[in-house]
Amino acid sequence: MSGKEQQEITDDLRKFADERDWGQFHTPKNLVLALVGEVGELAEIFQWLTPDEAERVTDDPKVAEHVRDELADVYGYLLRLADVLGIDLNTALQEKMRSNAERYPIDRSYGSAQKAAEGQ
């Protein structure tokens, strides 16, 4: 159970912005810049951690809260951007995954960072 569905959350985000007359700021270019800002804050959490420390980053409740917070911010601007552009993220990603499944057949992609670099 993840509570509200993505579409409902998208609607809530739009309502939140509209109530504050922030829709004027939420142009596609501005939202991309805002997304960049939040991804930057996420990167700052991980920048000096060793790979091991990064794997265990959510062990400390305070840091876990920080990570949750930044992931939520990235996700929030991504949903706003998708909403403004009229794109459904879940649908778009499922289409991409179908195309990636064809592009990266298991037998020719197994364990390859090269292939991983192209698909996901």
- Contact code string over 81-110 relative to its own copies, x by CB under 8 A: xx--xxxxxxxxxxxxx--xx--x-x--xx
Judge contact between 76 and 86, C-beta under 8 A. no
Contact pick of 11, 35, 66, 103 for its own copies (by CB under 8 A) = 35
**Residue 62 Cβ, how far from its own copies at the closest point, in Å?**
13
Using the rule CB under 8 A, is 30 a contact of its own copies?
yes
Footprint on residues 46-85 left by its own copies (CB under 8 A): 46-49, 51, 54-55, 57-58, 67-69, 71-82, 85
Side-chain-side CA neighbours of 27 within 13 Å: the count stands at 4
User: In the chain, what is the greatest distance between 2 CA atoms, to the nearest angstrom?
Assistant: 52
Residues near 120 by beta carbon (within 8 Å), at least 6 away in sequence: 100
